[in-house]
Structure 1
C-alpha cells in the first residue's frame, strides 16, 4: 500500500478491491482502477507464441494443483486463527469503549461547573483590580485638586489688593474644582458598591468552587481507574495486534491464490453456460411433451365426463355393461351394422317427435326442475348440518379455553390483589371470589377484611380505603400483563402521609421490572424514587431542579455525570426547602 493506492497482481482482484473498499488500485501490468469508475492502462503487446502459451498453461496447471493443496493447508490454519481474530475484535471493541468512556470523562471535566466558575472568578478578579486602579486614580486627582485649592488660598492672602477681581476668578475655579470633585466622589462611591458586589459574588463562587473540587476529585479517581484499565487493555491489544498482522499476511497470500484460481473458474463458467443452454433446450422439449400429456389427460377427462353423463342419463348401461362386446350377444359391436343402427335411431326420433305432440313438455320440464332443486336442497341441508356440528364443536372448545384462561387469570389477579392491598393497608386483606353458587367466569365480588373480620359491604369503607382498594385492583390487573412504563398523576391526593409511603414501598416491591413517572405533592411518595424533579417559580420564571432519590443505586459515574450537569446529589425535604425559598422570596415550589 503506497499512500491511498493498493497494488495487486490481477485485474479481477483489483476490480473487486476497488468496488469493495472504494480505494484506488493498480495492477502489476499497469492498469489503474479508480473508485469513480474510470480504468486506465495499456495492453500487453508481447503475447508470445501459441506453444509458449501452452507450456505456460501446463506450468500454471501444475502450479495451480500445488497452490490448491497449499490453499487447503492455509484454510485450515485460517480457521484455527479465526477464533484468535474474534478475540482480537472483541478486545478491540472493549478498547474502543474504554477510549470513548475516557474521552467522555475528559469532555465532562471541561464542561463542568468548575470550569465555568473558574472563568467567572477570573473575570470578577479583573473587574476588582480595574476598580482598585480607578479608585487610586480618583484619590490622586483629589489630592491634586486639594493642592490647587491650597495654592488658591495662599494667592488670596497675598493678593488682598485685587481681592474682588481675583476672588471671582478663584470662586469660579473653586466651583469647577468642586464639580470635578463631586463627580470623582460619585465615581468612587460607584466603584465601592461594585467592589462590594464583586466581593459577595466572589465568596459565593468560592463555595461553588469547593463543591466543584469535590466533583473533580471524584472524576480524577475515576480517571485513574480508567488509566489502569487502559494500560491492561493496551497489553492485550498489542498481543492481538501481532496476531492480527500475521493473519493479514496469510490472508493476503490466500487472496492471491484465489485470484489466480479465478481465471480457471472463468473457463469452467463458460463450459457451465454451454451446459445451461443444453439444459434449456431439454427443458423446452420437456415442456412440449408436458403439453401433449396435458392435452391427452384433458381428452381423457372429457371422455370420462361423457361416460359419467351417459351413465347418469341412461341407467340401463350400468345393468347391461357386462354384455358389451360379447360375441353373439345383443351388444356385439364387431358384428353390428352402425348404418342400420343409425337409421333405426332416426326412425325412433321421428316416432318420439310424433308422440311428443300429445305430451306437455313444459310440465315435464318443471317436474324435472323441481326434482333437481329438491335434490340440491337436500344436499345443501346436509352440508349446513355438518357445518353446524363443526361450529358447535369449535364454540365448545373455545368455551373450555375461555373458562380455563379466566380461571388462571382470576387466581393470578386474586393473589396479586391481596398482596398489593396488604402492602398499601397493613393489617388488612382483600380477595376476589365468585358469588355463592356460581363459578369464577360468571362473576366476581370484592371482599375486604380488617384483621379476621370480613366486611359485608364496601360502603363500610372510608373514601381513602376505597381509593386504595381501587388502586390495588388496577395494579393487580396490570401485574397480570405488565407494561414497561406507567404514569400516575396524584393518586395519593386523598391519602395521608403513611399511606403515601406505602404506595412507594408497594411500587418498589411489586413492580421492580417497570418504570414509573409519578406526579405528587406529598413528601412520602419520594422516599423510594430514583430521581426527583422539582418545579418552582424563581423571580416569576418556572424552573426545574433534578436530584437523586435517597434509595438510588447509582454508582460514582452517575454521581459524576450529575455533578457535571450542575445537579446536586443531596435531597432536602420539600417543606424545608419551601420554607427557605419563601424566606428568600423565591416563590412557591411544586
Structure 2
C-alpha cells in the first residue's frame, strides 16, 4: 500500500482564506476549448474530519462470464474513483452485468434470455458448463488529515487508509447449463435473501438498487410521469417514495381505509337495526295491555288452583302412607327369600366352582390321556416297524445261513471229491502198474506157449507180428483221438450240467415271485377293505360333525326362540298383571266402556301411544298429562265424571278430542338437532296426535343437563327434559332428578290387547320351545357319544392299516428282490457267449474227432480182421491153453484201458472241483460278512424292540392309570352334577317364590308409583303454579295452608270456581307471547343501542388510525422531499452554472393524489417541464436529481454506466469534477468513453477484446505519471 504524509496547515494560515467561489481552469481537451468549472462556496475545514469505516469493492473475479473466458480479475479497484474504459464492443458493460449478476438480477436485465446464456461460448469454447463472478469487498478506514477545501483537481487523491482486519467479504454467484444458479458468501453456500440482508447491514441497499445507474436509466428519470398510472409502473412520486421510505405506509393506509369503510357500513347497519327494534317495540304496546289484564284473571285462577292442588296433595300423601306400609312388608318377605337365595347361591357357586375345577382337571386328564395314547400309538407303530424289520432281517439271515450251509456243504463235498479223485487217481495208477506187471507176466507166459507152438504157429505169429506192427500207428492215433474226445465230452457235460442247475434255480425263483405276488394281492385287498372302512368312518365322522354343527345352530336358534318365547310370556304376564292392577278410576271407566254403557272413551293418554324405552324417564317426567283420559266429546267426559262422582271412585282429568284445536305439528329445526319429544311418540291412531302435541308441545330431549342448559337458555327459550329426568321449563324453572325418577308413563309397545287367552297361548308356546330345547340337548349328547366312539375307532384302524402298509412295503421289496434274482438267473441261464461258443467248439471237436476216429477204425479194421483171423488160427493150433492165455491178456488190457479212462475222468472232475472251490470260498466269505452284519442289525433291533417294549409298557401303564383317574373324576363330576342339579332345583323354587312376591310387590309398587305419580303430579302442578308478575304491580306469593285449613275447604266449590275461571279464561284470546316479545324488544333495543355505541367507537378509532398513518406518511415524505428538492436545486445550479430546478407537488395539499412534477429552468431560459427539454438538458436534470438522492441517502459504493454519453465535454467535466469530490467518502466505479471523465480517475481498468475474448488490465495514473 502506498502511503503519503498528510499536509497539515497551521490554523492562522487557514483562517486567512476567504470564503469565495473559486474558478479552476481545466487543461485543454478535445478541440482545445477550455471551460471554467464553478465551485460552490465552501468553508475551509481546519478540524480533523470524522473518520468512519466504509465498504469498498477491492476487485472482481470473473470466470467464463459472458465475453470473459477463463478467470479474469477486474482490479484492484481504487477506494475512490475507478474508471472502466475500452473501445465499443470490448465488453465494458459486461463488467456492470457481472455486478448485476452477483446482486441477483435476472438474465433479461443483462440482455440475455436465460441464465445459461451468460456462460462464455466463443468459438472453440462452446461446451463450458458454468460461469461465476466473485466480488471481493473489504472495509477501510481512511487516515485523518487536515485539508484546505479546495478544488478536487488541485487536491491530490490520497491512498492513505487502513484495512479493517477480518473485514474481507467475498460474494459470488455461479450459473450452470441447466439454468440454475447458487450464491456463496465467503465460500459458504447461501441464498439471495441472506446476501441482501448482509449487504444492507453494510450500507448497500439491493432492494431499490439506487447505487447502480445503468445505461439509459438517467434518461428514464426524465420520462417518468408525475404519478404511476397503475401499480405495475413507476412514476416520479413512487420513485421518490421508495428513496424516502414512505412507501411502507401505503399498505397500512389502504388497510385502514378498508377498515373505515367496513366499520361505516357496520355502524349504519347497527343504526338501522336500532330504529327497526324501536318501531317494533312501539307496535306491541296495545297488545301488552290486553295480555296484562288476562294475566290478572289467570292469577285469580292460580290462587284457586293452589288451594285445590294442596288438598289433592294431602289426600295422596295419606294414601301413599298406607301403600308404603304394604310395600315394606312385601320387601321384608322378599329380603328373606333373597337371603335364602344368597346363602344357597353361595353354596351352589362353591359347588359350581368345584365342578368347574374338576371339569378342567378332567379335561387336562383327557388331554393327557390323548397325548399318552398318541405316544402309545406311536410306540406301537414303531414296534410294528421294528418287528417287520426284524422279520425281514431274520429272513435274510436264514436265507444267507441256508445259502452259507449249502455252500459250505458243497465246498466240503468238493474238497472230499478232490480227495477221492486224488485217491482214485493214485489207485488207478497203482492198478495200471499192477495190471501192466500182470500183463507183462501173462505176455511172457503167452510167449512161452507161443514158443512151444513156434513151429506150428511161427508162420502165423510172424504174420501177426507184422500186422501188429502195421496196426500199431493206427491204434496210437485212435487212442490219442479218443483221449481228446473224452476230455472234450467231459468239459461239455460240465457246462451242460451247469445250465440244467440254473434252469432249476430259475424255476424255483419264478415260483417264489408268484407266491409273493399272490401274498401282495391279498394284502392289497385287505388294505383296500381297511381304507374303505376308514373312509366310511371318516364320512361318518363328517356326517356326525355336520349334524353336531346343525345341532349347534338348532341349539342356538332354539335357545334364542325359547328366550324370546319366555320374554314374550313374561311380558304378557307382566302386562296382564299390570292391566289388572291399574288404578280404580281407569279400571272402572274401562269396564264401563267394555260393558257398552258409555261410548267415546278410549284410554289413558299414556296407553294410546308408544315410545322407545330410552325416553321412558324423559316423557314420564315431562308429561304429567299421560294419566289424563282421552274421550271423544264433552258429553262423554261429563258422563265419566258423573259416574265417578256417583260411585265415589275419585277424580280424573280428561282430554276431549273435539275440543283439541287443529295445530301445526310438523317437525321444527331444533338447536344441536336434538329430538322433539312429540316426534318420538308413535300414536295408536293418527287422531290422537293432536292430544299428544297438546300435552307435550315443543318440549325437547337433551342427553344431559349440560346440553339441556345450552338449549334451554339459548336465543330462543325451549322447554327441555333430559334422558335422566331433569326438566327445565321455558321460564327457566328446573325440576326432576334425584335418586327416584319417574318412569312407566308410556310403554315401548301397545299393551291394551293382552288377555288371559294371550297369556295362556304364549305360555304354551314357551313350553313347546322348552321341550324342543330338551330334544336338541339330548340329540347333542347322543351325537357327541357317537362321534367319540368313531374317533376312538379310527386310530386303531389307522394303526392296523399302517401295519399292513408296512407288510405290503416289505412284500413289495421282497418281490423286487425276487424279481431281481429271477432276472439275474435268467441272465445266467442264457448261454453266455463264451459258454455257447465253447460248447459249440467242443461239440464240433467231438464230432470231428469221432469222425476221424471212425475213419481210422474203418482203416484199421482190415488189419484187425487179419490179426483176428491169424490169431484164430493160432488159437486153433494152440488150443484152449493159448485161447485162455490170450483171453487173460485181453482182459488185462481192457482193465488198463478202463483205468486210463477213469484217470482222465477223475482228472477233469478234480480240475472242475478246484475251480468250484475257489468260487465257493469267495461266496462263503461274502455271505459270512453279510451274515455278520445282519446278525448285528438283528441284535440291535432286538435291543431297540426290547427298549420300545419297555417304553410301551410304561406308557400303557400311564394310560391305564390316567384312565382310572379319569373314571374317578368322571364319577366325581357326575356326583357334583347331581348335587348341583339339586341345588339348582332349590334355587328355582326360591326364585319362583321370589317371583310371586316380586309380582305382588310390583303390583303394590306400581300402585304406589301411581299414587306417587299422582302425588308428584299434584305437587308438580302445585309447584308449577306461580302468580304472574305484572309490570308496575307488587308481586305476591301463593299462600300455603295447613292440613286442617285445607280440610275446611269444599272441593266441589273450589272445582266450580276453577271451572268458571277456566271457562272465562279460555273464552279470552290474548297474545301472551307479546309480553315476552315486548320484554325481548326492550332488551334488544338496549343491546342494539350498545352495539351502535361500540360500532361508532370502532369507526372513530379506525378513522383516527387512518389519519395518523396519513400524517406520518405526509410528514416523513415532505421532510425528505424538501431535503431532496433543496439538494436538487443546489446540484442543478452547480452543474449548469446558474440554472434552476425544482420538484413541485401537483396538489400541494395532498402530494400523493396527483404526484410530482420535475420543473427545470436551464440557464437563460424559462421554466419547463423536464419532458420538454433537450437530450443533454434531460440528462443534466436527471443527474442533478440522482446526485441529490445520493446526498439524501448516501451509499459507500456507486456504479455508473456511461452516464455522460449524452453530455457535451463541458458538462462532462462539471459532472466528473463533482464525482471526484464525492469520492472522498465513497467509491465510484464509472464506465465512460469520455476523457474528461476517466482522466480524473484514480485507477483505470482497461477492457479490450482479442480472439473474441474480453481481457482486462488495470493502470494507476499516478504511478504512470511518476
Structure having the higher helix fraction is: 1
Using CA pairs below 8 Å that are at least 6 residues apart, which structure has the higher relative contact order? 2
TM-score by length of 2: 0.15
TM-score by length of 1: 0.31
